[in-house]
Amino acid sequence: MENEAGALSRVAGLFSARGYNIESLSVAPTEDPTLSRMTLVTSGSDEVIEQVTKQLNKLIEVVKVIDLIDGNHIERELMLVKVKAVGDDRDEIKRLADIFRGCIIDVTDKSYTIELTGTSSKLDAFLDAIDNSAVLETVRTGASGIGRGDWVLKV
Amino acid sequence: MNEELTGAEITIRCLQAEGVDCIFGYPGGAVLFIYDELFKQDKVRHILVRHEQAAVHAADGYARSSNKVGVALVTSGPGVTNAVTGIATAYMDSIPLVVISGQVPTNAIGLDAFQEVDTVGITRPCVKHNFLVNDISELAITMKKAFYIAATGRPGPVLVDIPKDVTQQKMAFTYPEKVSMRSYNPVIRGNLKQVKKAVELILSAKRPVIYTGGGVILSDAAKQLTELAKMLDYPCTNTLMGLGGFPATDRQFIGMLGMHGTYEANMAMQYCDVLIAIGARFDDRVIGNPKHFSNENRKIIHIDIDPSSISKRVKVDIPIVGNVPDVLKELIKLLKSTKENPDQTALSEWWKQIDLWRERDCLKFDRQSDIIKPQMVVEKLYEVTKGDAFVTSDVGQHQMWAAQFYKFDKPRRWINSGGLGTMGFGMPAAMGVQLANPKGKVACITGEASIQMCIQELSTCKQYKLPLKIVNLNNRYMGMVRQWQEFFHGNRYAESYMNALPDFIKLAESYGHVGMRIERPEDIEDALREAFKLKDQLVFLDFITDQTENVFPMVPGGKGLSEMILV
Ligand SMILES: Cc1cc2nc3c(=O)[nH]c(=O)nc-3n(C[C@H](O)[C@H](O)[C@H](O)COP(=O)(O)OP(=O)(O)OC[C@H]3O[C@@H](n4cnc5c(N)ncnc54)[C@H](O)[C@@H]3O)c2cc1C
Ligand SMILES: Cc1ncc(C[n+]2csc(CCOP(=O)(O)OP(=O)(O)O)c2C)c(N)n1
Ligand SMILES: [Mg+2]
């Protein structure tokens, strides 16, 4: 979409006005600074998704809409988690972070901050794997997606 | 280098460049520089209304009756909030408007400044698009885009919010000749493959119906529609917004369809095997219960410029995205070049069935009554004006009777709020119609409740000598509400009775207009004739009508189209 003030609120407003749900939404400018790219995760029946697509296309600032689910695609989300890490837990948590290919990016004597990327379900799996009471804080970006292979989305 | 102009001057120059001859508005602090420039020129006429809602409705009536973009000008804060009802009304019916609103100066935005509201935020859900002009360098191009977006594709209102300091800044002015936007390219021509498929389906029909709506009016496609229907001899029904798209006096016209549509139109719609939908959006007031509607097997062709109108409420078989006249021309061309013909035996069977349905005479009413029947007033209005008036209406029973009993043979003659159903629309819209058609006869069919929602505009009519004929079907009830309460709420008429109505005659007279009260059926015609003879006067005709009259047929909420309540 056009990298203009207000474009984001039009999309968000459309979803709330028409009762569509937003599971996550991430947006930032692209290599062409006049454009930004938004990845939005939603759910609904085929009819609802068809309407969502058509309604998004109708927004004047939206340049192009594709449904990544229609083709092969890659999807990644970034999560930062602050966990309690004292005593024996420190090793255990480090091992777990390694298994999930996370990195510990900040350390105190009571906590670790772990950076993790992957599909949203991988991030969920990591949170499931560690003791719930150890989690102090999480922050997630929502998914970003791109098509696989040589195919590119250009306007 | 062009001479430098202020933002206010540029705003007016843009209007002039767009050929705008008339705008509707109300001044205030944030737009004073713009008003100052209006004052200094005489190309753009300004009509001063009495409430901003009316400014937008008037611009809307102007647009609907002329196919030009309507323009309204309001100040920031309360000026904008008052305008919102008008903007939403235009949005729901896809009417091209440009609304210019003043805003507090850019350096005051966000500081809860005097008369500041988040105009772009408040109007976002009810405009086709809106802009906040942050800098004078964007002003001319934004105005150009606003007119372009409003009038093209599926039309709609566009709002341009201009902070006061931007109207004071100076810059050289050139009005862009063209505008292109990579993210906005409305489709014009339909996909040829789809049109070919449509032709095949149309020719295979045994029980066809042509169902058309506001899209035919908005795109000025009445001519092509009539040609198509005539060459096929298929029955044609119109939505409330589509009336006048096909001549109502033609034998092939089976009436309006939907909640208060005719028996024959609704039955034909329900039991057709091929439905040709043109510029209509399968509204809930049109198809009734969608499940019940899909119980019958039929194939649907849907022509609409807005893909999101297609397969929204009813799944269609052949979608054609495009501009109605362009698609119809293509369709007609293909039909003319094919050797095949529709099955004439099946078609005449179908017409026989439709004529049987017609015999049900679903719009009958008591013509012997000694109390005025509202239907009779509309019928007489039709006769007296020879079907040639512009008719606006408010919202309620009177609106439905107007739609059922005034036979519109031409497009852009019937002007009403269908999608939002805005009481208060009728009189201000009629003002806009009269200004767009100075020689036209303009009648506003209204009810005693609706008319009071914008009654202050009698003053505007006085100032600009607008000779409207206000036809008040005065049943002393919010009739449409009363009807629902009678049918669905055990006759409990909660707050639908208006005690303490004004004396409308004296009220009209106090503004220098003519008032007439008509209480006997035998006086209806004379009163109307007399009113239309007063060519330069607004006449307020207060018809005291039967309080108990209801609108039939009626498809109750949740029921199927064929499950009408009939008289
Ligand atoms: C009290 C009350 C009772 C009502 N009862 C009824 C009733 O009995 N029957 C009835 O029909 N309505 C009734 N309505 C009106 C109803 O609410 C809807 O407003 C109306 O049915 C919609 O009409 P439409 O389908 O023609 O769509 P419109 O709102 O007129 O929409 C036009 C369609 O045409 C498309 N279009 C626009 N321009 C073009 C173009 N250039 N080319 C192609 N397509 C284009 C648009 O995308 C849109 O899909 C009632 C309203 C009120 C207030
Ligand atoms: C602004 C607004 N408020 C409320 C309604 C709900 N409403 C629809 S019809 C109606 C009654 C209209 O009464 P009147 O104008 O007397 O017309 P009648 O039905 O009696 O012909 C009301 C209140 C509406 N459509 N618009
Ligand atoms: Mg009434």
Instruction: Report the catalytic residues of B.
Output: 52, 114-115, 164, 480
Average confidence (pLDDT) over B435-452: 98
Strand partners, B266: none
Residue A19: is it exposed, middle or buried by C-beta count within 10 angstroms (0-12/13-18/19+)? exposed
pLDDT at B2 over 80: no
In angstroms, rounded to a whole number, what is the distance separating the alpha carbons of residues A44 and B87?
31
What is the rounded distance in angstroms from the CA atom of residue A108 to the CA atom of residue B203? Answer: 79
Ligand number with the minimum distance to the CA of B476: 3
DSSP 8-state assignment for residue B291:
H
Average pLDDT on B259-284 reads: 98
Structure tokens given for A51:
């309407």
Question: pLDDT grade, residue B345 (50/70/90)?
Answer: very high
Q: Considering only the beta carbons, identify the residue of A6, A50, A155 that sits closest to B120.
A: A6
pLDDT of residue B409: 98
B551: nearest Cα among B468, B487, B455? B487
Is the bond preceding B163 in cis, omega lying within 30 degrees of 0?
A: no
Confidence of residue A155 (pLDDT cuts 50, 70, 90): confident
Q: How sure is the predictor about A63, in pLDDT bands with cuts at 50, 70 and 90?
A: very high
Arithmetic mean of pLDDT over chain B: 97
Burial (CB count <10 Å: 0-12, 13-18, 19+), residue A88: exposed
Average pLDDT over residues B393-422: 98
| pLDDT tens digits, B69-113 | 999 999 999 999 999 999 999 999 999 999 999 999 999 999 999
Residues of A in contact with B308 (CB under 8 A): 51, 54-55, 57-58
User: Can you give the pTM of this predicted structure?
Assistant: 0.97
**Strand, helix or coil at B447?**
strand
DSSP summary character for residue B184: B
Burial pattern B501-512, b for ≥16 Cβ within 10 A else e, equals eeebbebbeebe
- Contact: B124, A61; criterion CB under 8 Å: no
The interface predicted TM-score (ipTM) is: 0.93
Instruction: Determine if ligand 1 sits within 6 Å of the CB of residue B52.
Output: no
Residue carrying the six token digits 């105005």: B143
A3 in B contact zone (CB under 8 Å): no
How many angstroms separate the CA of residue B215 from the nearest CA in chain A? 17
pLDDT band at B1 (very low <50, low <70, confident <90, very high): low
Looking at residue A8, its pLDDT comes to 95
Could you tell me if B266 and B296 are in contact, meaning their C-beta atoms sit under 8 angstroms apart? no
DSSP A35: B
Residue-wise pLDDT for B272-312, tens only, equals 999 999 999 999 999 999 999 999 999 999 999 999 999 99
CA distance B237 to B372: 29
Q: Whose CA is nearest to atom 3 of ligand 2?
A: B423
Residue type, B377: V
User: Tokens representing B28?
Assistant: 């205030």
Per-residue pLDDT tens for B458-501?
999 999 999 999 999 999 999 999 999 999 999 999 999 988 99
The CB density around residue B368, as the number of other CB atoms within 10 Å, is: 6
At residue B499, the pLDDT reads 83
Give the separation between CA A136 and CA A85, rounded to whole angstroms: 10
Give the C-alpha separation, B437 to B11, whole Å. Answer: 25
Residue B175 is inside which H or E element, if any? none
Average pLDDT on A135-150 reads 96
* Number of the ligand 2 atom closest to the C-alpha atom of B475: 20
Percent with pLDDT over 90 in chain B: 99
Whether B308 sits inside 8 A of A55 (CB atoms) is: yes
- Note the pLDDT tens digit of each residue in B27-82: 999 999 999 999 999 999 999 999 999 999 999 999 999 999 999 999 999 999 99
**CB-based contact A58 B120, cutoff 8 Å:** no
A137 burial class (0-12, 13-18, 19+ CB within 10 angstroms)?
exposed
Q: In the predicted model, what is the mean pLDDT of residues A132-138?
A: 94
SS (H, E, C) B463-520: HCCCCCEEEEEECCECHHHHHHHHHHCCCCCCCCECCCCCCHHHHHHHCCCEEEEECC
List, for residues B200-245, the tens digit of each pLDDT value. 999 999 999 999 999 999 999 999 999 999 999 999 999 999 999 9
pLDDT digits (tens, 9 = 90+) for A33-58: 999 999 999 999 999 999 999 999 99
A52: nearest CA partner in chain B = B308
Q: Is B512 touching ligand 2 by the criterion CB < 6 Å?
A: no
The whole-angstrom distance between B315's CA and the closest CA on chain A is 9
Rounded to an integer, the average pLDDT of A119-146 is 95
Ligand 3 center from residue B65 Cα (angstroms): 26
Cβ partners under 8 Å of residue B428, min gap 6 = B49, B53, B54, B55, B57, B58, B61, B454, B457, B460
